Amino acid sequence: LSILVLHGPNLNLLGMREPLIYGSVSLNDINELLLEAGKILGVKVSSFQSNHEGALIDAIHHALGKHQGILINAGAYTHTSIAIRDALSAVKVPTVEVHLSNIYQRESFRHHSYIAPIAIGQISGFGAQSYRLGLHALVDYLTKAPD
Ligand code: DQA
């Protein structure tokens, strides 16, 4: 199995960006954590970050036939981008949505996700571990028979 991890805008600044909310872990640390978790699970993990909506959409299109699952933290695009949601719906690659912070504890404009209704599920609020938990959930979904 090959999993595509997508990081949206401003996540390149992790570590120095609002550490009280997002923690002190860098994006590199998260990508390494995911590579390690992928090794344990026996899946290939490729990560891509962009601050540009269109670049994220292109990456979703290119996932077709190449990756069996997508793990996405779309950052603020979570709350604004119908286009990213439509791209995920178009390619139909099973997707898990993750957030470092618990978006439901924060400003009301973060409570709505355009991605959540078309994702398998969402993991929010566990810091960098949200990604590891999300990867496990996605691989579980892809490898286990439905109950
Ligand atoms: C975030 C939450 C979003 O509301 C915010 O815009 C981000 C990060 C998170 O991981 O907690 O950029 O997706």
Which residue's entry shows tokens 């997707």?
Answer: 95
Residues carrying an active site annotation: 22, 99
Q: Which atom of ligand 1 is nearest to the CA of 110?
A: 4
Reply yes or no on whether the pLDDT at 31 is more than 80. Answer: yes
Distance (Å) from CA 123 to ligand 1 centroid? 12
Confidence check on the interface: ipTM exceeds 0.95, yes or no: yes
Average pLDDT, the chain: 97
Ligand 1 pocket test: pick from 16, 27, 99 the residue with the most ligand atoms within 8 Å of its Cβ.
99
Q: In Å, what is the CA distance from 51 to each residue of 13, 73, 101, 124?
A: 11, 12, 19, 20
Instruction: For residues 93-112, give the mean pLDDT.
Output: 98
Total domains, the chain: 1
Distance (Å) from CA 11 to ligand 1 centroid? 8
State the pLDDT at residue 126: 97
> Which residue type sits at 137?
A
Residue 6 Cβ inside 6 Å of ligand 1? The answer reads: no
Among protein residues, the one with the nearest Cα to ligand 1's atom 1 is: 75
Residues of the domain holding 127: 2-143
Reply yes or no on whether the pLDDT at 5 is more than 70. Answer: yes
DSSP helix, strand, coil percent of the chain (3-state; round to 5): 50, 20, 35
The CATH number covering residue 98 comes to 3.40.50.9100
